[in-house]
Structure 1
Amino acid sequence: MKKKFYSVFAFLLTAVVILAGCGDGDGNAEVNIGNLQLGTGSVGGTYYPLGTEMATVIKNNIEGYDGFDLSAVASDASVENLLEIGDGNFDLGMTVHLPALDALNGEGEFSDAIDNFGFMGHIYPEVMQIVTQENSDIQSIEDLAGKNVNIGPPGSGTQAAAKLILAAYGLEDGDYTPFEEGFGDAAGRIQDGNLDASFGLLGLPASGIEELAVQRELRLLPITSEALSYIEENSGYAAITIPSDTYDFLEEDIQAITAYAVLVASTDKIDEDLGYAMTKALFENSSQITHSQGAHLTKENALLGSDNIPLHPGAEKYFKEEGLLE
């Protein structure tokens, strides 16, 4: 009996040691640093491949945490990532900064406020790109009425922005047939002729669009100045020009809207010390990222999109150390 007692005690002690290290001593949940998860987006979009590289860079360069492991997880992007952090299922997440603000305030897609996350850094500017085949009869966003249109996965930043843009043109639910997919799946449907157009909140240039352009001649739909005014009055999106040299098929500059992709982390599961080590590992070694959008992951850009989003204590410590904050 005594031998059995000590065996059970040893097992429990080992489990505690494995799980320890990330609680802040104030009641925060403990976390297994050997099984951390970063919520990204759909496999065919920008978040997943970029997030996979970000996770690898952090894992390969973090200091002081033996057994540390961080995996990128495919998801429906912004809203789902924030909800999963709120529920304690994801440790970090990629999101457009606007849904993050909605989450804090319990607005938009969020029926209840989520406040257990903190800003870990800017990733890259996201640009809404609306793609159709060049030989289609769709010349403008108004022409999407009655068409098969991919508006992005439920709860994604893409879908929220797509509905806002469509509303700016007087198009509501029922005026078009919606598909709710990641851009990778939508690109396949456009190529096969089963989808008329797709919205994608993506990096610039977007590899998915470049790959599709090899198979089909494409057109990007611009946002008019009148619609842009409506969008700016009803959201935090800003105007951006997509230069004509962004893609080979563009013949002129295209007016679009943009927001920031940012990284956030759970303040319940990632304490200050671990958050500091992760932020430092990412920003000190971002040059190891080969994805084109990794070029935006710099110390100089680190605080873009952080307005009104609380900083994670660990990230705040690092940014102050680097002279980015007073």
Structure 2
Amino acid sequence: MKKFLSLLMAVLMMASVLAGCGGDTTTDETEQDANTQDTTTEQTGTNVSPLTGSGTELKFRTGGEQGTYYGFGTVLAQAVTSSGCNTKVTAVSSNGSQDNIEQMDYNTAQLGFVQSDVMDYAYNGTNLFEGYPVTGFSTVAALYMEQVQIVTCDPEIKTVADLAGKTVSIGASGSGVFYNAIDILSAYGLDYETDIKAQYQDFGNSADSLQDGKIDAAFVVAGAPTTAIASLATAKDTYLVSLDDEHIAKLQETSPYYEKYVIPEGTYDGVPEATTVAVSAVVIARDDVSEEDVYNFVYTIFENADSIAASHDKGKELDLEFAAGVTNVPYHPGAAKYFAEKGFEVPTK
């Protein structure tokens, strides 16, 4: 009898360890299950999701290696992968929002960072996706605001109007920066094909070209501070071109997804305060990614926001209400499940 009891206890202990990351938690969890969860959290330093992931590697397309998407996306991918719930995420660099959506449509990626405006273009088949809508994806979470930063090393360029006749980088092919640049230039009565000398460069190449004097200004759409601009500001006098209220209002008449945003002085070394507009940085997922994996992704980020914030400044902007505030593209069921547990109802397909 004693041998039988000993064997039974060993089986129960092994089952509790194996269940540390599996199954939905309920209000009547056993004390043993709770202790197992506490032990897992203490060992990993992470609040571990109650669901078990698929174990399949999920490719998470981000942005250029000197942009915020890549830096923050790498932190998020590592946090989820190391959380212990068998959801594996690998961050990879990319050409930005449009590229991310297209690669997800081809199923060469399962997750991606996108600008909220580009996500809307794709879902409704407009602008970058004119006549070719992509609808096989869902919202995971909005994570932070990303600012339209017009960068120059020329102190004589004080307004967008001053860009006339100048050599200006308006973003890499496949990025959302291009349309942001067109929107803002248009609000000031400038045509990118005739009124400026347009260059098509990513963040890093734009910063290098500014430092070398090859271009006069560059549009960079990313969460401030952005690595490429920060590096430029330490090497050369750098300025951010401000937008005025009249032209911001004109811009919002046709593009209501833009929000006025002030980049404070001190965001970059020696760069004064600047007024601009911003869009939301949103993570999306293919519809066929498992509910468990998406739940684990969102759970890990928001239940461990403090530790993520210690690894990347954008973690300080994580906010549940903002994350659940997307209305133009429905949420993935896995994300909706997590937000519902937190008291936020989000639209789903």
TM interval, shorter chain, is: 0.7 to 0.9
Shift of residue 32 of structure 1?
8.2
What residue number does 1:24 align with?
none
**How far is the alpha carbon of 1:291 from its aligned partner?**
1.4
2:166 matches 1:144: no
246, 249, 253: which is aligned to 2:270? 249
Moved more, 279-288 or 90-99: 279-288
Identity of aligned residues (%): 34
Quote the Cα distance in structure 2 between the aligned partners of 1:62 and 1:272. Answer: 17
Aligned to 1:93: 112
Higher relative contact order (Cα pairs below 8 Å, separated by 6+ residues): 1
Question: Which residue number corresponds to residue 78 of structure 1?
Answer: 97
TM-score (norm 2): 0.78
Q: Distance in 2 between matches of 1:32 and 1:314?
A: 13
| Cα distance, 1:149 vs structure 2 | 0.7
> Counterpart of 1:200?
220
Q: 2-side partners of 1:282 and 1:292: how far apart?
A: 14
Which amino acid counterpart does residue 82 of structure 2 have in structure 1?
N
Q: For 1:33-68, what per-residue CA distance to the aligned partner results, in whole angstroms no more than 9, with x for missing partners? A: 4432001011111111111111111111152x3xx4
1:288 to 301, 307, 311: 307
Contact 1:42 1:75 (C-alpha < 8 Å) held by counterparts: yes
Distance of 1:274 and 1:47 partners within structure 2: 20
SS at match of 2:265: coil
Separation of aligned partners in 2, 1:160 and 1:41? 16
The code of the aligned residue for 1:211 comes to S
1:44 maps to a residue whose letter is: Q
CA, structure 1 residues 62+85, in 2 after alignment: closer, same or farther (shift >3 Å)? farther
After superposition, where does 1:104-115 map in structure 2 within 5 Å? 104-110=123-129, 111-115=131-135
Following the alignment from structure 1 to structure 2, what is the Cα–Cα distance between the partners of residues 254 and 32? 45
Is 166-175 or 50-59 further displaced after alignment? 166-175
Q: Is the 8 A contact 1:62 1:277 kept in 2?
A: no
Q: Letter of the 2:260 partner, please give it.
A: A
1:17 corresponding residue in structure 2: none
1:311 alignment counterpart: 331
Counterpart Cα distance in 2 of 1:222 and 1:278: 36
Residue 322, structure 1, aligned to residue 342, structure 2: yes
Deviation by residue 1:126-170 (Cα, 9 ceiling, x = unmatched) = 1111110144x3232112122211111123122111111111122
CA shift digits 1:287-307 (9 cap, x unpaired): 332111121124343224x11
CA distance in 2, matches of 1:230, 1:86: 34
Deviation, 1:86, is 1.7
Give yes or no for contact 1:50–1:291 (8 Å, CA) kept in 2: yes
Which residue identity lines up with residue 231 of structure 1 in the other structure? L
Q: TM-score, normalised by structure 1?
A: 0.83
Return the offset for 1:80.
Answer: 1.1
Residue identity matched to 2:245? S
Q: How many angstroms does 1:248 deviate by? A: 4.1
Report the Cα distance in structure 1 between the residues aligned to 2:157 and 2:296, rounded to whole angstroms: 49
Structure 2: where are the runs of 5+ without partners? 1-52
Alignment: residue pair count: 289
d(CA) in 2 for partners of 1:118, 1:288: 27
Q: What code does the residue aligned with 1:104 have? A: Y
Equivalent residue in structure 1 for 2:151, among 107, 127, 131: 131
Say if 2:146 is the partner of 1:122.
Answer: no
Instruction: Give 1:250 shift.
Output: 3.6
Structure 2 counterpart of 1:217, one-letter code: D
Flag as ranges the 4+ runs of structure 1 deviating above 6 A: none
When the two chains are superposed, the root-mean-square deviation of aligned CA atoms in Å is 1.9
Task: Report the CA distance between 1:245 and its aligned residue.
Answer: 4.0
> Which amino acid in 2 is paired with 1:45?
G
| Unaligned segments of structure 1, at least 5 residues | 1-30
- 1:240 corresponds to which letter in structure 2? Y
